[in-house]
Amino acid sequence: MLGNQALETLPVGQPIQLLSQSAQQFQLVCGDVPLAQLQSLNAQQAQLLSLSVSGDLLAQVFEAAFRLLPELQSVVTEQQAFCQPSGYWQKQSEQTWVLWRGAFLQWPKPWLSNDVSSTPHLMQLVNGQYRPMRPAPQTGVLYQRYIPWLDAHLTLVGLSIEQHLDCFHRWQNNQRVAAFWQEQGSKEQHQAYLLKALADDKNQLLIVQLNGEPFAYVEAYWAKEDRIAPYYDAQPYDRGIHMLVGEQHHRGPHKVKAWLASICHYLYLSDPRTQRIVSEPRADNQVMQNYLQQHGFAKLNEFMFPHKKAALMWQQRDAFFQLLALS
């Protein structure tokens, strides 16, 4: 059980693994160090019997449990000392607490590189519109996640002109990308495009990487300040996404399953007030619409932008955490 000698660091370079001790009992270990013991109650629930970690390691252990047991939906315990952080555990009786998968996935610690500190809710008049105060765009590694079916680490990085202009320029001049984005041009034109986007605090520009290799570009934006706002009932903390995959060898549904869920996860974690993510792919881009629908986005209607006919699609926060659940 958790005590004064609880581990606060793990052996370097050793992954957390799942070892079966019997048909119903299994153990999470790192190298030869035991971390937690669980007993299966049924396919979707397990009881936490022992725990030998504390601090930031708790997030790593529970992340491994839910990842290595993809059908597991909840962990229960009769030891209140195990219920850390307490706000994520639900008390079911005088002696029972439960950690739901959907609740744990909203714990930022395993995935976000920075502590979550939402910008205070302060309405401001900007360019003739009342909207909340927005945080400045971030740089560096913002989100990281291990993708088991790819055996790779996915990271979301805040775009840097110095580091990412070359790949952005190459991707935008790819014929496949240009057919939808229509942003072909010189490196100087693309630098000006990115500088303008970075100067607007409605945007968070992201580069998606697998094992350190950049392969996709994302414009995450606050929908209230975007051109999409007049076409639906945009709420103050709705986010929107524009996406492109620039590297051909990173295309395909098995890769989309990794990066699209991770982008949505990052946006929901980075501000708990975000309840919806919207997207407006071109109405004839059926491939992207299918991918979005497979990941919990509903198609509401089609409408005319000045530059294209678009499909309005959105995903609800509850749908993401309760149904998709990353696994």
CB atoms within 10 A of CB 246: 20
Catalytic hit among 63, 71, 219, 280:
280
Report in angstroms the alpha-carbon separations of 225 from 48, 134, 307.
46, 11, 18
Map out the domains of the chain as residue ranges. Answer: 16-104, 123-324
Q: What's the fold here for domain 123-324? A: Aminopeptidase (3.40.630)
Region 25-50: mean pLDDT is: 94
pLDDT higher than threshold 60 for residue 177? yes
280 in catalytic set? yes
**Do residues 101 and 66 touch, judged by C-beta distance below 8 A?**
yes
φ/ψ (deg, to 5) at 246: -90, -30
In the three-class reduction of DSSP (H, G, I as helix; E, B as strand; rest coil), residue 259 is classed as helix
pLDDT digits 0-9 by tens, 74-130: 999 999 989 988 899 999 998 999 999 999 999 998 899 887 667 899 989 888 888
Q: How confident is the model at residue 324 (pLDDT cuts 50, 70, 90)?
A: low
pLDDT higher than threshold 70 for residue 1? no
123-324 shares the fold of 16-104: yes
Instruction: Specify which residues 244 forms β-bridges with.
Output: 217
φ/ψ (deg, to 5) at 85: -70, 145
Looking at the chain, the whole-number percentage of residues with pLDDT higher than 70 is 95
Which string of DSSP letters, residue by residue, matches 127-162? TTEEEE--PPPP-EEEEEEEETTTTEEEEEEE--HH
CATH class assigned to 16-104: alpha beta
**Cα atoms in the Cβ-side hemisphere of radius 13 Å centred on 116:** 17
Q: How confident is the model at residue 5 (pLDDT cuts 50, 70, 90)?
A: low
117 or 33: whose pLDDT is higher? 33
Structure tokens at 325: 């659940």
